[in-house]
Amino acid sequence: MTSVRGGLPDVREIAETVTDPELPMLTLADLGVLRDVWVTHAGTVVVSITPTYSGCPAMDAMRADLKRALRDAGYEDVEVRTVLEPAWTTDWISSAGRAKLAEAGISPPHSAPIRAAGPIQLDLGATVRVLRCPQCGSARTEEQSRFSSTACKSLWRCRSCLEPFEHIKEI
């Protein structure tokens, strides 16, 4: 049952239904982009989101979709804030989100590497992890392109079933 505030549906539940414009099988909550949702004493709904990477072109669409969903539910005054710290990581993708990616034929990311505090070191000779094909499960896969339909995905091909698939990069 949806909780209500003054006869209106719960703001968190509404925000959690908004899907990612680039990965529509995931909600912003599944992706870990949705950080916080609350109502101020003045009645303004405030939503905090974190981009998957700086310069993410989907941020404007996310803001608009969140505002539309909340306004359609009866909340007139909606503010969407961008939170940059801590930076988003693929570890924030929920287990349900990872399962939805795999069901859609997109290889979910491995756990992000653990980093010490301070600057992130650039590793130009990064080792490529073995990815399993989301179609047949084979580990006989190869990267075709470091970039795919979005900068956060790479394009792979399975050498067993010959199907191409995208992989969400670890961040």
Domain-located, residue 38: yes
**Which of 81, 85, 94, 87 is closest to 52 using CA atoms?**
87
Query: Block means of pLDDT (10 residues each) for the chain, length 171 residues?
Result: 54 96 95 95 95 88 97 96 93 95 91 59 55 92 88 90 90 72
Contact 108, 101 (CB under 8 A): yes
d(CA 95, CA 101): 10
Question: Do residues 76 and 132 both lie within one domain?
Answer: no
Q: Please tell me the pTM assigned to this model.
A: 0.76
Domain-located, residue 113: no
d(CA 21, CA 62): 7
Out of 28, 53, 82, pick the residue that ends a domain: 82
Residue 125, token pair as written in the block: 């000779």
Question: Do residues 11 and 72 both lie within one domain?
Answer: yes
pLDDT digits (tens, 9 = 90+) for 126-155: 555 678 999 999 999 999 998 888 878 899
Domain-located, residue 138: yes
Question: Do residues 141 and 73 both lie within one domain?
Answer: no
Alpha helix segments (H runs only) across 10-94: 11-15, 28-31, 59-72
pLDDT, position 121: 55
d(CA 139, CA 137): 7
Residue range of the domain that includes 146: 126-171
Domain-located, residue 142: yes
